[in-house]
Amino acid sequence: MIPILRTVVGLLSGWLVARLLAVLTRLHVNSSGAPKKTSRRSFIRNASMGAVGVVLAEATAGFIWFFWPNKTGAFGSEISIAAENVPAIDALPFREAQGKFYLVHNEDGLLALYWKCTHLGCTVPWNADEQRFHCPCHGSIYLYNGVRIAGPAPRPLDLMEVTVLPSGDVKVDTGKIMTRSAYQPEQAVSYPA
Ligand code: FES
């Protein structure tokens, strides 16, 4: 999406510059199409305006470039998990800090669990002693597959879209978050593909 927006902005900028040049060209020809004689005063005025325009254009471009969101590899984008980090069936969840999810692997396949508690949004850690996800804020408890079994949370942990590549690596789209009311085996993505 962002590369498309950048392309559109680039095309619009190019079109605006072309229009501006066309207008300036028209100002410097008379009605018969011959070039007007330029006085020293108008030359200095045009040169000054041109210089100011260039500086403003550069400042605007720099401002847009600086503040343009760049989500590559961060929350909201696709995140790759190398095959060696994919947990074995029922093994310790793989924690992905930038993507804010756990990758778990049950007998049905892989699930990417968004670690935000569905009660009030606290980060839910995996508790190895309990073999459960246990929210520290108000005590909601979730199974390995993210289903809530205790506490005030209204539903299971949300899921992110998982894609398994032929290499065994996994892609998790942290921009595609799905809610659910229960666990269904189809929610898991079989691994290896
Ligand atoms: S935020 Fe997790 S139980 Fe309240």
Q: Starting from the edge strand earliest in sequence, which strands make up the sheet with 148-150, in order?
A: 126-127, 132-134, 141-142, 148-150
Q: 193 in a domain, yes or no?
A: no
Give nearest CA residue, ligand 1 atom 4. 138
- Whether residues 41 and 83 share a domain: the answer is no
User: Are 88 and 171 members of one domain?
Assistant: yes
Give the atom of ligand 1 at the shortest distance from the alpha carbon of 124.
Answer: 2
Of 28, 43, 67, which closes a domain? 67
Q: What local confidence, expressed as pLDDT, does residue 117 receive?
A: 98
* 56 plus 87 within the same structural domain: no
What is the 3 state secondary structure string of 69-106? CCCCCCCCCEEEECHHHCCCCCCCCEEECCCCEEEEEE
Whether residues 63 and 84 share a domain: the answer is no
The confidence band for 28, taking pLDDT boundaries of 50, 70 and 90, is low
42 with 111, same domain? no
For residue 15, give its domain range: 2-67
What is residue 171's predicted lDDT score, i.e. its pLDDT?
Answer: 98
Residue 33 belongs to a domain: yes
Instruction: Tell me how many degrees the CA angle 124-181-139 measures, rounded to the nearest 5.
Output: 30
Same domain membership, residue 40 and residue 85: no
**Of 41, 67, 93, which one is at a domain's C-terminal end?**
67
120 lines ligand 1 (CB under 6 A): yes
Going from the Cα of 157 to the center of ligand 1, the distance in angstroms, rounded, reads 11
Q: Is the pLDDT of residue 26 over 70?
A: no
124 and 179 belong to one structural domain? yes
| Torsion over CA: 79, 80, 84, 86 (sign) | positive
Q: Which atom of ligand 1 is nearest to the CA of 135?
A: 2
**Which candidate, 70, 86, 76, 101, places its Cα nearest to that of 176?**
76
Q: Are residues 109 and 139 in the same domain?
A: yes
Number of domains within the chain: 2
CA of 186 to the centre of ligand 1 (A): 27
> Based on the domain organization, do 54 and 88 belong to the same domain?
no
**C-alpha R_g of the chain:** 28
Q: What is the pLDDT of residues 125-183, one digit of tens each?
A: 999 999 999 999 999 999 999 999 999 999 999 999 999 999 999 999 999 999 999 99
pLDDT at 58: 80
The answer to whether position 37 is within a domain reads yes
Does 165 lie in the same domain as 139?
Answer: yes
> Which of 116, 118, 119, 139 has its CA nearest to residue 127?
139
Domain boundary among 37, 67, 97: 67
Provide the pLDDT for residue 56.
80
110 and 164, same domain (yes or no): yes
